[in-house]
Amino acid sequence: MTTSAGPSTVAAAQQVAAGFNANFIPQNFASLPGSGAVDDIFVFTNFSQGNVLASAPNPAGPGNTDTDYTPLWQVNLVTWIKGRPTALTSQADISIAAQDGFVSVQKTPIIVECSVIFTPRGGLLPWATVREDPADVADRR
């Protein structure tokens, strides 16, 4: 999937977020991994599924009220180790699967910046567009 947005998709000050129609980021960007400024993203290593984010803006844009949301993500590798893989769609699903011994989760030192511009609960970030890459559509057929 390819995404694009206006001049900015994140802002640490709510007035700036409103001015740019960007996501309001309530956390401090200056902190390092393991702090509130970084949240978890779960990437699956040996089965095909989309990444899972631990938080998302609600709603997308300057009215975001989710104080856990940040565009800084610490990569966690999820590997299926027993049983048949099934979709894991939340951090809670992943935690339960890990506790039950179905998956292993390895926190890496890798931090990525990736703004969420769309959420089912919060809609599309103002001025953003989402369009599918034709190769992605072909892969699903």
Q: Provide the residue ranges of all domains of the chain, joining segments of one domain with +.
A: 2-117
Which residues, including other chains, have CB under 8 Å from residue 35's CB and lie 6 or more apart? Answer: none
Q: Are 79 and 43 in contact (CB under 8 A)?
A: no
How does pLDDT run along the chain (141 residues), one tens digit per residue? 333 344 445 555 566 566 656 677 665 544 455 666 789 999 999 999 989 999 888 888 888 888 888 888 888 999 999 989 999 999 999 999 999 999 999 998 777 778 888 777 777 777 677 676 666 555 555
pTM of the model: 0.69
